[in-house]
Amino acid sequence: MVDFLMRSPADDRSLHRPCVAVAVVMRRERIDNRWQSWRWELADVVPHEDAFGDEARLLLKDDREERWLHPGHNVELYLGDAEGYYLNATTEQPCFWVVWRMQEPEGRGDEPMAVPQTVTLSYHDAGRWLDAQETVEQVPAPAPVVQWMREFVDAHHVLEAKRRQRPQSFRSLEDRFGNPARVSTDKSFKPQEPDRG
């Protein structure tokens, strides 16, 4: 098996940003359900190899499951999303997130299959896709990819300094109409007795 090959613009001038080429393995498994007999799920993200080609292909098929390889996905690291990579890199288990959709590919009749759309290492990207009601699954990222991502984060992520909040006692007081209000500490004020008459 080939290792993940992380590339950067410094190594290859044709690149605009650091990236790693991956392939996605989707698994179709038989389930015991009266309304649905099969379920799709993400199985793995593996290093891309030229021998994979550029079309999805069946790796395994038996009575219990199918495994499909979807090659040719680039996981790119964007400067503007360094915080998203930081959030992933600092978790207990950094991971790849894969967005996939059910589609009807040519040559499979009318039977839909799970087709990966994109792969990312950004916590923010995954959150946006989940908010958009996309199907997003994750698998652990291997140590070399995590190290590569951490090096990118160390070089490009800047933690925002916490701003000191001005104590509330220094804020000017306003009445309910937004006009400056006065507070008196004059002790000569006496509450009036209620009229009992």
Summarize pLDDT for 148-158 with one digit per residue, the tens. 999 999 998 88
Q: What Å distances lie between residue 171 and 47, 165, 181, CA to CA?
A: 58, 11, 11
Between the ranges 124-128, 182-186, 190-194, where is the mean pLDDT highest?
124-128
**Residue 3: predicted pLDDT:** 83
Quickly list DSSP for 113-179. EEEEEEEE--HHHHHHHHHTT-EEEEEEPPHHHHHHHHHHHHHH--PPPPPPPPPGGGSPPB-TTS-
Q: What is the pTM of this model?
A: 0.75
Contacts of 49 (CB under 8 A, 6+ apart): 2, 23, 71
> Rounded CA gap, 149 and 138, in Å?
16
Of 21, 1, 19, the C-alpha closest to 10 is: 19
Q: What is the C-alpha to C-alpha distance for residues 72 and 119, in angstroms, rounded to an integer?
A: 10
Q: Is the pLDDT of residue 197 over 80?
A: no
Sorting pLDDT into bands at 50, 70 and 90, what band is 118?
Answer: very high
Mean pLDDT, the chain, as a whole number? Answer: 85
Q: Is 117's pLDDT higher than 60?
A: yes
Report how far residue 87's alpha carbon sits from residue 14's, in angstroms, rounded to the nearest whole number: 29
* Residue 2 vs residue 30, higher pLDDT: 30
